[in-house]
Structure 1
Amino acid sequence: MDWDHLRFFLELARTGKLVTAARRLEVDQATVSRRIQALEKRLGTALFLRTSSGMELSEAGQRLLPDAQVIEAAAGRVLGLSGGPGDGLAGAVRVGTTEGFGATVLAPQLGAFAARHPHLSIDLVAVSAVVSISRREADIVISLERPLRGPFVVTKLCEYVLRLYGSQTYLGRHPKLRRVADLEHHTLIGYVDDLLFSKQLQFVNEIQPRERFALRSTSVVAQLNAAAAGVGLCVLPAFLADRCPELKPVLSSQLRFHRTFWMSMPEEVKQLSRMRATWDFLRDVVARQQELLVPR
């Protein structure tokens, strides 16, 4: 059997979409379809079912999947994917996480990681939404909620701190803040309540329920930019706000929020060299940036 056909089968099984599998394999959709059809003809059975949400494994495809993964891991060792020329990791890895963490903490480091491995392609999905690992939207997901069900490898990646921030301009033209009750005389910036993608982002209610905000946004970067422009006070991750010279933390001894990032990936990919290397690299990145994540 042609190993290359199995490679296409595995990518489509993981992504569930022809267009995504084609992009990650750096071919067109027709090539993916042709390879899958050739494999199905060789095995004499359909491996995928076309549904409204994409391509799902048939019963035969589900039976083939674990054996194909074993062959993939063995091929990786034989081809030197974990230690060939140039430290030759190869293939695609998609990392999903929150907007601020992905853009600020991970993007610079992942870019350098990919540069060291020219045959490795990193997709960073940094969004103000839940990236679903069960729907194959990413290979490795860093989330605020710990996955409770599913065949996943899960680890606590890190804790991080959020504080209340305001710009020098805003603080200069509003009453001084000495205690939490003084917030009654100030304007806040926050998330759009009914569009929150995680209950872990409801910290504004821990300060004091408010009916009026100067601005609400689904984007933490938009909130940061509004706070820096003097629109109001905003609860922001320290790893994001401490890099902005216009912002300073207020009421730091009274308002300090701790949240946790969890990292997970499907059991089915944990033996792949590129997944293990990316997983270990992400843990190392976080370990080296503790002062940024949890400032003293």
Structure 2
Amino acid sequence: MDWNNLRFFMELARAGTLHAAARRLEVDHTTVARRIRALEQQTGATLFTREADGHRLSEAGRQLLPKVEAMEAAFRQMERSGPLAMAADEGLSGVVRIGATEGLATRVLAPALAQFSRLHPRLVVDLLALPRLVHLSRREADIVISLERPARGSVVVAKLADYSLHLYASRDYLGDQHGPQTVEELAGHSFVSYVDDLLFTKELQILDELHRPQQFALRSTSILAQYEAVAAGAGIAVLPAFVAASDARLVRLLPQHHFKRTFWMSMPQEARQLPRMQAVWALLREVAEREQLRLLAP
């Protein structure tokens, strides 16, 4: 069986679309399609089902993938044991795609991943900083950091970190006032929050736990857009402390009230033995531990 065909199969399984796999492999998408057809002829099985948002593994494909990844892992082990193993640039290689919430990805993970990439120039890290849920089951990412613990599927799950959120407003918005001192005094203020019908998890329905606003100055799917709006004086918002606590323009309101949420990290069970996955997984846990005080800022 042609290893190149298997390599194209593996990348399409990870990327989910012909164009994404082609970018990773630095070929045209028609080449990916041709390689997959050739492999399906060799195996006598349909390995993917075509769906509106891309390619999803069939049952035969799901059975084949861990075998191909085991072959890849064995090949990498041979590489590390060979005469080139001591070369500085013969370290981790391949692509690891991480899906994470926008605030965590941009404010906490990106700097650490940039440094990590410098140490491993043959490793490509895709960081999906999206205000929506990224799905492992659809092969949108190799590692997903979410606000809800995955409840099913053949996945490895670990608690990454807790983080705190508080009410903030800008000094410009408050003017000469001290700001609301009680929950009841929140009435009449303008708020910045999420767009309710576009929330991707119930874990972000935080403001309603304290106060149901009557007036919104701005609503956005982006937590960073909310943060910038609050800093510009638009109103009051619940923001992660790791985003807002160090901004001198902002004032924390009602310090007796705070919120806590949890980041969960998951990856497919069959990928846990891959060296690059192990390394990035360990790095993410290290970053969360190192940033614990910042994530849980009181």
Asked if these proteins are the same fold (TM beyond 0.5), I'd say: yes
TM-score (structure 2 length as normaliser)? 0.92
CA distance in 2, matches of 1:83, 1:33: 37
Identify which range, 171-180 or 158-167, moves more after superposition.
Answer: 171-180
Q: Which residue of 2 aligns with 1:80?
A: 80
Q: Which residue of 1 aligns with 2:297?
A: 295
CA distance in 1, matches of 2:61, 2:234: 55
SS of equivalent residue, structure 1 residue 79 = helix
Q: Which residue of 2 aligns with 1:17?
A: 17
Conserved? CA contact 1:174–1:186, under 8 Å: no
Q: Give matches, 1:153-172, under 5 Å.
A: 153-172=156-175
Q: 1:155 to 1:3 in 2, by over 3 A?
A: same
Identify which range, 20-29 or 137-146, moves more after superposition.
Answer: 20-29
- Listed one character per residue, the Cα deviations across residues 269-293 of structure 1 (whole Å, up to 9, x for unaligned) are 1111111110100000110011110
SS of equivalent residue, structure 2 residue 213 = coil
Q: Which residue of 2 aligns with 1:195?
A: 198
CA distance in 2, matches of 1:72, 1:257: 44
Any unmatched runs of 5+ in structure 2?
none
Conserved? CA contact 1:94–1:138, under 8 Å: yes
> Quick check: 1:211 aligned with 2:204?
no
Work out which of the residue numbers 57, 75, 99 in structure 2 matches 1:96: 99
Identify which range, 165-174 or 281-290, moves more after superposition.
Answer: 165-174
CA distance in 1, matches of 2:136, 2:57: 16
SS of equivalent residue, structure 1 residue 160 = strand
Report % sequence identity.
52
Identify which range, 64-73 or 194-203, moves more after superposition.
Answer: 64-73
- Listed one character per residue, the Cα deviations across residues 219-251 of structure 1 (whole Å, up to 9, x for unaligned) are 111111111011111110000002322112121
Shift of 1:136: 1.0
> Quick check: 1:117 aligned with 2:100?
no
Conserved? CA contact 2:189–2:215, under 8 Å: no
Q: 1:192 to 1:263 in 2, by over 3 A?
A: same
CA distance in 1, matches of 2:291, 2:93: 27
Q: 1:168 to 1:63 in 2, by over 3 A?
A: closer
The count of corresponding residues between Structure 1 and Structure 2 is: 295
Conserved? CA contact 2:56–2:138, under 8 Å: no
Q: Which residue of 1 aligns with 2:142?
A: 139
Identify which range, 74-83 or 262-271, moves more after superposition.
Answer: 74-83
Q: 1:58 to 1:178 in 2, by over 3 A?
A: closer
CA distance in 2, matches of 1:148, 1:154: 9
Identify which range, 53-62 or 97-106, moves more after superposition.
Answer: 53-62
Shift of 1:45: 4.3
SS of equivalent residue, structure 2 residue 185 = helix
Q: Which residue of 2 aligns with 1:50?
A: 50
- Listed one character per residue, the Cα deviations across residues 154-209 of structure 1 (whole Å, up to 9, x for unaligned) are 00000000011111111224463222222124222111111111111111111112
CA distance in 2, matches of 1:127, 1:64: 30
Q: 1:210 to 1:44 in 2, by over 3 A?
A: closer
CA distance in 2, matches of 1:78, 1:266: 24
> Quick check: 1:64 aligned with 2:64?
yes
Work out which of the residue numbers 204, 221, 224 in structure 2 matches 1:221: 224
RMSD: 2.0
